[in-house]
Structure 1
């Protein structure tokens, strides 16, 4: 009978071990992002040769794979150099890299629960039993001298992952690692777009400074002409004062523009973990606004969910939440542990290493939750609600990405049309100023006409520079909306801690 019980017990454990591949709880299925299958980029790009000829110099969009290093399409060596430093220098990206290392370490901690736990131990105790204690029951003449107890050995414990409790935890940890990876990529995409926008804004501010200086020179020439005519009695002092006021009003725009240059340089320095003004020698010299490329490769809509790191991160978080539901379900099932202990125990050190000092214990244990005060059910409800929250967040992230792309496309296309109109306005304003100066010199037009023409030209040129800047920044926003710019590989090691702090003098 005892033998049959032993065989039955062994068969039961064999069945439990062979069923170890089973994991309770829901299996994760990647959700459908519900993005449009047909291209919705077509409205923003001219398709025929006639349409392209009708918009000379205007970039149009391609349904080709998005450019990972999209900043290179601007063909600006300085921008390319700055962008190449972001991944290794930006503090937000470095923080995300450390968090990625934390996720990997947490996964290792979680996975260790699937393996046996083995601990060694050794101890020595000197013991003296009280004569007035339990020994007093044997009579007053019993005398037990102090004894020494020497012990060494190890114990082991292994919880069998029959219901997939640990495997679901590892699955969740793997998903958290993936989420950390794409959160890092999302921060990298954001930092690259921020840097590019600040760089384009910097070049735009420098372009406006050049425009103001050119107009200041023209206004100064008009002032000298007015003074000459006033000295000859051909005009009044009022015209001279109006001309001088125009010169000073144009000159007054320079300080705020120079301040904008300094702000943009400092913003780029902050992104690259540099102190204020550290990049001034590299960026202070004026350069043209980076032009948009003749073609902007965007990719197809169905690939958006694969390219946007925030969508990938939201999907990974949904995966982790689904696995956590499985962990909560597994808590309802019994846990089975194999426990063992092997020791050498002796009252004399010289006998400790003899075979006769060996003692051991071995056997399985089973724990079955019977009453937990509603803890297990509440935990399962919590995990289920967290899974629903993650699903809603994923849907919102995809929808927001779609809106971001469409809005960026519309802004990019409309600003190009505005820029074309402003180019024509600048040409007309320049011609109007030239004609008004000739007519004023010949005495057939009043000075107010010249002043108005000068102001109109300055305003048109500034608006054109701002629009040119906006076209480039809108394309940057479009690349960001498409999730371009993240690395194909992840760093294996976290960054080294900052060794020195900033010293302010």
Structure 2
């Protein structure tokens, strides 16, 4: 008894001191400091008619293309696209993981009740009492043993008995070193990374839908151009046949003209197949069956036109707008918090456990005060030898944080390259398109002159045929260039990272705000309390 009394003050002093000195181990995450250029240099150097300008970037950037069908399709992506739905489910999974991690901060309480019909073996531990199996429990006046059950006639040994019990168990691990808190921090960062992943998936789907839609309209335009040239070629066949009947030409011209018709007709099936495939691609993006959008999109429309001004935001906003950069930052945050979890494993774990219940051999006496029982007390465990597992885990977490820091740096650098390349491509394609417009105008003029000269017999039919081929090629190339310019605008806005704000606005309650900044190359891995050697 004296020994137990001497231990109690020491244990209480240890618990009190540990609770007062409790801390959160590991480095505190600080948002990396990323330097941004003062302006978008490529935008200032643009020469094309549609100029990118540093102005507030509209979330629904696709509306700048002035196509109502495109706007209607884009409005459905957030709710209908299967990839976005899957990303939403992954976000729910990460939130469930956060709830699981957060449970470690709270005590656990469980209740149980049971009834057992038992019989102790007289040859078991009861034999250590030095009693004989027969008559080990004297019977009372009513013939019952101390176990509450009368022995059966002719039986020997310990009689069976009833055991009724119920109770509650509680336990609570003191988070003295921040193991659970760092785990919650890492899980919260994982939720943020999952939310950014969903935004990135939506942004990719928006850009893909816009590209497919533009390509669809370009394909329909190419079909119209091909059909117009086919009608022109058929009229040329009639002209050559008429001239042959008049004796002004030979069957060679008719054969060449007919071959031109067949050549143009051969262009139609691949274009028709591509048109159908693009409609199906758009249907798939919206979770529809093949051909579901054929009625809406089957009628040809012009290729979306470019805006006179394309607002592209400001350089300082890029890092906070692109979902992939935001995701990389959240992953770096999670990796930083995991260091604290690994460091806390080096320290003692102190838990408070207790149970309260009742146990009786008789159901009628289960609620009596004398049937109550309880257990309460603290427990402590401390790693002494783990074969290097704890140190290896800590080294792994630090290396993973450095990898995440490099990944963040790479993502930021890649974003700037993508924006710069997109600005250059957008300007270059517009200038190419304007040159092709001049080519088409000149080819149309050349064809008109060639046809007139051929009617007059001044030139050979092969000259007309060559000009027709050049015109068809130039018109097709111009249509494709117009589509490429619009696609380049889509690529630019995807690189800028906007488009998710309306569907998945940022929730301030789910985003941890951090003060201060640390240069990327000096992200700390050793701040906070140090682990024992």
Tell me, yes or no, if the aligned pair for 2:436 and 2:478 is still in contact at 8 Å: yes
Distance verdict in 2 for CA 1:19–1:455, change over 3 Å: same
Please give the alpha-carbon distance, in whole angstroms, between the structure 2 residues aligned to 1:191 and 1:481: 13
Please give the alpha-carbon distance, in whole angstroms, between the structure 1 residues aligned to 2:449 and 2:134: 133
Please give the alpha-carbon distance, in whole angstroms, between the structure 2 residues aligned to 1:40 and 1:366: 62
1:476 positional shift: 0.5
Tell me, yes or no, if the aligned pair for 1:159 and 1:337 is still in contact at 8 Å: yes
The correspondence for 2:481, drawn from 467, 473, 482, is 467
1:24 positional shift: 0.2
Please give the alpha-carbon distance, in whole angstroms, between the structure 1 residues aligned to 2:476 and 2:191: 48
Tell me, yes or no, if the aligned pair for 1:172 and 1:323 is still in contact at 8 Å: yes
1:294-373 alignment runs, 5 A limit: 294-373=308-387
Structure 1 range deviating more: 389-398 or 7-16: 7-16
Please give the alpha-carbon distance, in whole angstroms, between the structure 2 residues aligned to 1:335 and 1:134: 35
Structure 1 range deviating more: 463-472 or 402-411: 402-411
Distance verdict in 2 for CA 1:489–1:362, change over 3 Å: farther
Check if 1:233 corresponds to 2:247: yes
Tell me, yes or no, if the aligned pair for 1:25 and 1:327 is still in contact at 8 Å: yes
**Cα RMSD (Å) of the superposition?**
1.9
Partner of 1:502: none
Q: Deviations over 1:365-401 (max 9, x none)?
A: 1111101111111111111111111112111111221
The correspondence for 2:472, drawn from 458, 467, 481, is 458
Q: Deviations over 1:421-442 (max 9, x none)?
A: 0001111111111111111112
1:54-453 alignment runs, 5 A limit: 58-136=49-127, 137-139=130-132, 142-144=135-137, 145-453=159-467
The correspondence for 1:13, drawn from 15, 18, 21, is 15
Distance verdict in 2 for CA 1:239–1:18, change over 3 Å: same
Please give the alpha-carbon distance, in whole angstroms, between the structure 2 residues aligned to 1:266 and 1:311: 32
Structure 2: gaps (5+ residues): 138-158, 507-533
1:295 positional shift: 1.0
Aligned residues: 481
Tell me, yes or no, if the aligned pair for 2:244 and 2:251 is still in contact at 8 Å: yes
> What is the SS of the residue equivalent to 1:138?
coil
Please give the alpha-carbon distance, in whole angstroms, between the structure 1 residues aligned to 2:132 and 2:464: 128
1:4 positional shift: 8.3
Tell me, yes or no, if the aligned pair for 2:209 and 2:285 is still in contact at 8 Å: yes
Please give the alpha-carbon distance, in whole angstroms, between the structure 2 residues aligned to 1:290 and 1:28: 46
1:415 positional shift: 0.4
Please give the alpha-carbon distance, in whole angstroms, between the structure 1 residues aligned to 2:334 and 2:408: 13
1:355 positional shift: 1.4
1:491 positional shift: 9.6
1:134 positional shift: 4.3
Distance verdict in 2 for CA 1:11–1:37, change over 3 Å: farther
Please give the alpha-carbon distance, in whole angstroms, between the structure 2 residues aligned to 1:255 and 1:134: 91
1:197 positional shift: 0.4
Q: Deviations over 1:91-142 (max 9, x none)?
A: 1111110000000001101100110001111122233333334444124664
Tell me, yes or no, if the aligned pair for 1:40 and 1:301 is still in contact at 8 Å: no
Tell me, yes or no, if the aligned pair for 2:78 and 2:503 is still in contact at 8 Å: no
Q: Deviations over 1:114-173 (max 9, x none)?
A: 100011111222333333344441246642343322211101000011110000000000
Please give the alpha-carbon distance, in whole angstroms, between the structure 2 residues aligned to 1:227 and 1:203: 36
Larger gyration radius, structure 1 or structure 2: 2
Please give the alpha-carbon distance, in whole angstroms, between the structure 2 residues aligned to 1:116 and 1:320: 25
Please give the alpha-carbon distance, in whole angstroms, between the structure 2 residues aligned to 1:298 and 1:75: 17
Q: Deviations over 1:272-293 (max 9, x none)?
A: 1112212111111100001111
1:490 positional shift: 4.1
Tell me, yes or no, if the aligned pair for 1:97 and 1:491 is still in contact at 8 Å: no
> What is the SS of the residue equivalent to 2:358?
strand
Distance verdict in 2 for CA 1:468–1:133, change over 3 Å: closer
How high is the TM-score relative to the length of structure 2? 0.87
Q: Deviations over 1:25-73 (max 9, x none)?
A: 1111111234323433434435xxxxxxxx6xx2101111222111111
The correspondence for 1:479, drawn from 486, 493, 501, is 493
Partner of 2:147: none
Structure 1 range deviating more: 377-386 or 184-193: 377-386
Distance verdict in 2 for CA 1:414–1:140, change over 3 Å: closer
> What is the SS of the residue equivalent to 1:36?
coil
